[in-house]
Amino acid sequence: MSRDLRLRATFDSVAAFYQDARPDYPDELYSDLLATTGVTPPAHLLEVGCGPGKATLPLARMGFRISAVELGGALAAEARHRLAEFADVSVVTSSFEGWEPPTGVRFDLVYAATAWKWVDPEVKYAKAAALLTQGGHLAVWNADHPFPAGFDPFFTEIQQVYEEIGEGHGGPWPPPPPEDQPDPIAAEFEASGHFTVVGSKLYVWAVRYTADEYIALLDTFSGHIAMDPAKREPLYQEIRRRLAARSDGRLTRHWSAVLTVGRRRRAAVS
């Protein structure tokens, strides 16, 4: 297994505060998801890597039946707690690769929110297609850190600290703005041979953070969770020092998500 896939297990250690530290996805994203796929309650959805239920709750509140698969035992327990009021939502502790639904069960939509990158690329598209009804959809979106025009200069300044501890960006700075970034997931969908892309849309929003809030957020990122404390502690000290010098003690972090939706292609007739 690649290092990236091994890192997926790190999130279970922050199950207790992941939900509150991470931002909610935009309401518009869910509206576009339903408009593009045409799914309506009580359609049966499968969520891959639900975490503590960040993307599960909004769809559960709409009345969908949801089967959610989560690798981490602590995250799955947190999701069950948060989703306890929804009788039609179940959470299974398993990897997506190793999980199988009850015989004959198929889904109208398979979706993954900030989880698809952690699934084995040799497995995920073929398995998702096999679990869908004919004409069903796969939807994927992430929560990334974009750098639109006018982004907070804090992030340029803090790059020096990351460089000093050997955790630099590793590319040109600043990165291209989000509207100039390609959608590699759409290319993956098409290359898989199992899906035809029927929608792709970018969402960008901003959140203000105090030092404590921002460090709590960083503690939910795999790279920071796995970082040597000898690196992480001086980094966090420098974040606090720099934000303490600001009049309001806050930074603005932008978020982006690209919603990519594919329709399952018809299986070849032998």
Residues 43-59: pLDDT tens digits?
999 999 999 999 999 99
Q: Identify whether 107 is part of a domain.
A: yes
For residue 5, with 0-12 CB atoms within 10 Å meaning exposed, 13-18 middle and 19 or more buried, which class applies? middle
Q: Which of 126, 60, 58, 137 is nearest to 91 (CA)?
A: 60
How does DSSP classify residue 237?
Answer: H
Which residues touch 167 (CB under 8 Å, ≥6 apart)?
A: 223, 227, 231, 235
Burial of 103: CB neighbours in 10 Å, binned 0-12, 13-18, 19+: exposed
- Give 60-107 pLDDT, tens digit per residue: 999 999 999 999 999 999 999 999 999 999 999 999 999 999 999 999
Q: For residue 99, tell me if it sits in a domain.
A: yes
Q: Domain for residue 155, yes or no?
A: no
Number of domains in the chain: 1
Q: Is residue 51 part of a domain?
A: yes
pLDDT of residue 4: 59
**Does residue 44 sit within a domain?**
yes
**Domain presence at residue 127:** yes
Task: Give domain status of residue 243, yes or no.
Answer: no
Whether residue 212 lies inside any domain: the answer is no
Which positions of the chain have pLDDT values less than 70? 1-9, 267-270
pLDDT at 5: 53
Q: What is the value of pTM for the model shown? A: 0.92
The CATH number of the domain where 19 resides is what?
A: 3.40.50.150
Q: Domain residues for 30?
A: 3-148+176-205+255-264
